[in-house]
Amino acid sequence: MSGAALARRSPSGGGHRSRGAQRRQLARGSRRERRRRRLLRLPRSVERRRAAVGHHRRRTQRAFLPLRIRQGAPRGVDSPAEAAEGKRTAPVRSSPVARALAAIGISALIVLVVVLITGGFTIDAGPLHLSAHNPRRPALIAIFTFVAAGALNRAAFNDMLSASWALLDAHALAFAIVIAAAAAGAGIACGTYAASSSDASGYVSESRLIASARLATDEPLARAVAWPNATWAFSPLGYRPGSEPGELVPTYPAGLPLVMAPVRLIAGELAVYLVVPLLGAIAVLATYGVGTRLHSRIAGLIAAFLLATSPIVLFQIVQPMSDVPVTAWWTLALLFALAPFPGGPLAAGAASGLAILTRPNLMPFALVIAVVVVNIPRGRDERRRRFDRLVGFAAGITPAVGAQFLMQWRLYGSPMASGYGSAGDLYALNTIVPNAVGYARRMIHGEGPALALAVAALIVSAIIRTRPAGVPPLKRTIVLAAIAVGIVAASYLPYAVFAEWSYLRFLLPAFPLLFVLAGALIVNAVLRFPPQLRATTLLCVLAIAGSFNIVRAQQEQAFAMQRYESRYRFAGRYLASALPPNALVITGQESGSARYYTNLPILRWDQLDVDLDTAIAALRALRRHPVFVVEDWEAPQLAKKNPRSVNARLDWQPRAEFGEETRVFLYDPADGEAHRTWRADRVH
């Protein structure tokens, strides 16, 4: 029928009949559909049997969608909400060749970046040997794989690149474990294994004291001489006078030695040097966990990578000092506070207690953990339990706080005193500005790549305004990071001013939250890219940042500390085997290691309040055999402090020499008086 004829038809006639015919046709179609469904339906007895064993569950009908499309996302594209969690909204056109080419191409790009920045690397791990020093090979491999992928199956290759983000997310925990193991491996392989200088010798020797159920040691010579401040003169580095004459008490807190002591009893002396690398691995894994809880798995992975490759972490993880352990305990406490299980607050309190025992001046950092314990619960029932959670946290932290106050009371005479001295001697307002400038310079110098990534992420987010839906907010992370930085800054800005870059270690407890914030910013920025570019871009920029971090750590001699600090171990063991039982070591920088390795009394020439020759004569009257152990840079200072002393000149042949970069000499004053000469032992 023509359109004109149809228009001339009466509205009360054929129009109604036409619509009625349409309704009847639809009804017949629906009846046919219901009949078809009844024919396909299983008997009810079979349905009941299958439902009883869990084989068949009836599901509500959903609107039909094509196989490769999910509601809310265009064909072949991830929905932003699920992309943030690394999920794919569409199955990948899988191809073994595409998977292999994607893996090889991305790996070659990463190796190329690392070689271009670092100059190459060699990894020897048992039978595994990996080496790359020429950028030409990884560049050619990357070009070949991408060209071959485009020629063979470009669509499948693009799908594999898009799926790499989901793969990275799905295996983030495994990657974090590998990163943590690599950090611990660096600490174990490049560790100093020496009770060196003040900090290391202090912590290691204190662990030996605790293993023998003592908190202090005694030096009878301090009571046998009539000098002023004699106990100070007989106190090695890492120790100070106690409440009684001749009593020597540790300067450093007992947290790290308390962990080292059982390790020493179980596995021996060498095992105490493994404690810090293992706690470094715990810090990396805990940082991953915190990032996962606060934002996403990939943000946690980025934070763990930035922490593991941080130059100051690599510098400290090779030394038996407390900076990495206190970072591990605070980060672990934060992870427990974020954990959903009922015992989380109690575990967070226990970890916070260990952190306080390790670094008591950071006790206010517990406020960060308390804020998390109280405010993280989201459910209505959990909000009602805030007080219970806070009580659990207090129950976990109180024993350690009480033990710390008791130890300070016993060792230093007051619960509020410390081995470093009174608060008035340690803190001053006039150091705030110099320290603020100094720490800012150290952050730029040491953590420049991480800062650059965070700034670049902010710029990308500002340029590409489209915000991915479903991305977790940054508010909690920003608040926690700000509180952590504020507490750590308040603890160390009024403290003494140091020139060395390595004192950036004081700020380490705030690094995990700062890196989690950086990881969250990076994830939010990368999710604005096309799916094919996300994983490749992220891995390449992390390779760039990690490579620059490694180069900076090498420049700061992080991986050469083992050779540099070996002089303490060589000198100490030589003295233990060569000196007579009645020897006494006159030294300064080597006092902590000499006391630890030899168990002989030491005399600090820099703490003497009497003439050096007078002190030597008094010691000989007590049937002691004094010897000098002096580093090359100390000799001029010794002579300057004692200008009239014949012994301070050290103008005779040394008995032995130790070390390479810094030389250590063993002198016997009796040789200078007898004018004897011989060939000195050379130990290195």
Question: Could you tell me if residue 62 is inside a domain?
Answer: no
Residues 210 and 166 in one domain: no
Tell me the one-letter amino acid at 662: T
Q: Which domain holds residue 244?
A: 199-272
Residues 556 and 566 in one domain: no
Burial class (CB in 10 A: 0-12, 13-18, 19+), 180: buried
Q: What is the tens place of the pLDDT at every residue in 553-571?
A: 999 999 999 999 999 999 9
Residues 467 and 327 in one domain: yes
Question: Could you tell me if residue 26 is inside a domain?
Answer: no
Query: How many separate domains does the chain show?
Result: 4
Residues 430 and 543 in one domain: yes
Domain final position from 121, 152, 170: 170
Q: In what order do the strands lie in the sheet with 239-241?
A: 217-218, 247-250, 239-241
Tell me the one-letter amino acid at 435: N
Q: What is the mean pLDDT of residues 298-322?
A: 97
Question: Could you tell me if residue 526 is inside a domain?
Answer: yes
Output the average pLDDT for the chain.
85
CA Rg value for the chain: 34
Select from 636, 544, 653 the least CA-distant residue to 112: 544
Question: SS3 for 618?
Answer: helix
Residue 217: which H helix or E strand, with range? Answer: strand 217-218
Band (pLDDT 50/70/90 cuts) for residue 71 is very low
Q: What is the tens place of the pLDDT at every residue in 398-453?
A: 999 999 999 999 999 889 888 888 777 788 999 999 999 999 999 999 999 999 99
Select from 223, 258, 208, 218 the least CA-distant residue to 242: 218
Residue 600, pLDDT above cutoff 60:
yes
Question: SS3 for 123?
Answer: strand
CA–CA dist 632, 639 (Å, integer): 12
Burial class (CB in 10 A: 0-12, 13-18, 19+), 131: exposed
Band (pLDDT 50/70/90 cuts) for residue 378 is low
Question: Could you tell me if residue 600 is inside a domain?
Answer: yes
Residues 579 and 678 in one domain: yes
Is residue 595 within 8 Å of residue 602, measured between CB atoms? yes
Residues 446 and 359 in one domain: yes
Question: Could you tell me if residue 90 is inside a domain?
Answer: no
Instruction: Return the residue matching tokens 């059982």.
Output: 262
Output the DSSP codes for 40-81: HSPPHHHHHHHHHTTS-----------TT--TTS-TT---HH
User: 583-587 and 602-604: which strand pairing?
Assistant: parallel
Is residue 328 within 8 Å of residue 207, measured between CB atoms? no
Residues 612 and 667 in one domain: yes
Q: What is the tens place of the pLDDT at every residue in 213-267?
A: 999 999 999 999 989 999 999 999 999 999 888 999 999 999 999 999 999 999 9
Instruction: Return the residue matching tokens 């803190």.
Output: 427
Residue 110: both structure tokens together: 């990463």
Domain final position from 254, 272, 290: 272
Instruction: Return the residue matching tokens 């094919």.
Output: 532
Is residue 443 within 8 Å of residue 504, measured between CB atoms? yes
Residues 303 and 215 in one domain: no
Residues 514 and 603 in one domain: no
Residues 6+ apart with CB under 8 A from 389: 344, 345, 373, 374, 377
Residues 416 and 477 in one domain: yes
Residue 150: both structure tokens together: 């485009």
Domain final position from 153, 170, 187: 170
Q: What is the tens place of the pLDDT at every residue in 630-681?
A: 999 999 999 999 999 999 999 999 999 999 889 999 999 988 766 666 777 8
Select from 276, 314, 306, 319 the least CA-distant residue to 552: 314
Band (pLDDT 50/70/90 cuts) for residue 468 is confident
Question: Could you tell me if residue 301 is inside a domain?
Answer: yes
Tell me the one-letter amino acid at 440: A
- For residue 141, the model assigns a pLDDT of 80
Residues 353 and 458 in one domain: yes
Question: Could you tell me if residue 177 is inside a domain?
Answer: no
Can you give the pTM of this predicted structure? 0.83
Residues 229 and 331 in one domain: no
Question: Could you tell me if residue 41 is inside a domain?
Answer: no
